[in-house]
Amino acid sequence: MKLPPLVLRHTEQVLKEVMQFKGPADALISRYFRGHAKLGMRERGAVAESVYRVLRNRLVYNNLAESGQGPQARRLALLSLSDIYGMDALSGLSDGEQAWLEHIQTVDRGQLPVRLRANLPDWLYNRLVKQYGEAETLQIADVLNTSAPLDLRVNTLKNRREDVVKVLQEVPVDCEMTPYAASGIRLAKKIALQNMPLFKNGGVEVQDEGSQLLAQIVGARRGELVVDFCAGAGGKTLALGAAMRNTGRLYAFEVSEKRLSNMKPRLARSGLSNVHPVKIAHEHDARIKRLARKADRVLVDSPCSGLGTLRRNPDLKWRQTEDAIAEMNGKQREILASAARLVKPGGRLVYATCSLLEYENEQVVADFLAKDERFALVPMHQVLAEAKIDLEMGDYLKLMPHRHQTDGFFAAVLERKE
């Protein structure tokens, strides 16, 4: 397949903007495409894939680019496009660029320093090595530097997973049931899901298997009062509502009006009527206090570094900072303490993040339990057995991309004593 020269040109332009790291890459790329409406879907796909490839392999590509000539963004675009599509797919190259890429193909990247091959900022690499050791950190990084599959959650109020798999296979879409999540389906490659009746009528939602498992371990049941304390755009809220079979009351608290607005069409498609979205100012909002000691289950999917989602958001590792995480850590502790007040005796509180760092995970839970003796840790292996999830864990849920093929997730289940 020969790529038109405009793909290289647009990839270079997008990289110039994205590599300033002034905002999320997906938002910047979408804005660029809106400003270049004549770009076809095939060309857009090639540009986006190439930009994300650079973000995932930034350190290695910067190192390789040092031997080239011309603008840095163009050299990075050439490296990325040639890695994805092969040199023969590129057109409009100068003789110098052709010779340089031929030279690059002779470089054994496996012999580059480990720190370089990990493609992680130094501070993050050091933290992961301290937790997991150098060998496993490189395994983690290798997987984080690939693209994530597309996972779907079947809305069990409307469909059975087996039936949805059959519908997808008839399209045909290459897919399989997820190994751990009870309602999950994994697609071999991304598709135009938004155009399918299955999606439009609320039969499925896009949701990583790890995120689906978080909703499952909450253990929400029919008729209960459940709180999704940091609801975001509502992915886990919808999963909880389905688990409750559209009964009881499910409060979705969120500080962002925009996220709540994004939840509305998803709620409409889902058919759920037991969800009550509530805009709150902060974790101490008066509307929260009205539910003190009333909730059967409370999920705190806490704001965090997001470093477990680097397969989807590779720019995040270059935009995130230690100072920002330290500031966020204080907020995590405040949110957990505030959410705990809602749990009734015998009820459960689930603290979760999409982070790989103990600083945001085990340490937060340990400090909370040391300060609040009303709660006790429920070992995760017990929770998973209750939920009939075939997954080996210790005291906590620790999903790892290189072991479980999910995003990186952490969760702890805490029970309020009677």
pLDDT above 80 for 1: no
Q: Which residue ranges form the domains of the chain, and what is each CATH number?
A: 5-112 (no CATH), 209-416 (3.40.50.150)
Residue 92 vs residues 78, 296, 315: alpha-carbon distances, Å: 11, 63, 28
Q: Which two tokens stand for residue 182?
A: 């009870």
Residues 274, 246: contact at Cβ < 8 Å? Answer: yes
The three-point CA angle 107-109-114 to 5° equals: 145
pLDDT of residue 190: 86
Confidence band of 418 (pLDDT split at 50, 70, 90): confident
> Of these residues, 175, 230, 304, 354, which one is catalytic?
354
Q: What is the mean pLDDT of the chain?
A: 96
Distance CA 27, CA 34 (A): 11
Kindly report which listed range (54-58, 188-192, 218-222) carries the lowest average pLDDT score: 188-192
Question: Where do we find the tokens 């270049």?
Answer: 36
CA 240 to chain centroid, in Å, comes to: 18
pLDDT tens across 97-138, in order?
999 999 999 999 999 999 999 999 999 999 999 999 999 999
Q: What average pLDDT does this structure show over 179-203?
A: 93
For the CA atoms of 207, 209, 210, 211, what is the dihedral angle to 10 degrees?
A: 30
Whether 354 is a known active-site residue: answer yes
Per-residue pLDDT, 214 = 94
Q: Is 241 helix (H, G, I), strand (E, B) or coil?
A: helix
In the predicted model, is pLDDT for residue 46 greater than 90? yes
Mean per-residue pLDDT for 165-181?
94
- pLDDT at position 2 is 86
Extended strands (E) in 100-223? 150-154, 175-177, 184-187, 204-206
Of the pLDDT bands very low, low, confident and very high (cuts 50, 70, 90), residue 192 is: confident
Confidence check: pLDDT of 67 > 80: yes
pLDDT of 37 strictly over 80? yes
User: How does pLDDT run across 318-348, given as a tens digit for each residue?
Assistant: 999 999 999 999 999 999 999 999 999 999 9
List the end-to-end C-alpha distance of the chain, in Å, as a whole number. 66
3-state secondary structure of 291: coil
pLDDT band at 92; cut points 50, 70, 90: confident
pLDDT tens, 277-298? Answer: 999 999 989 999 999 999 999 9
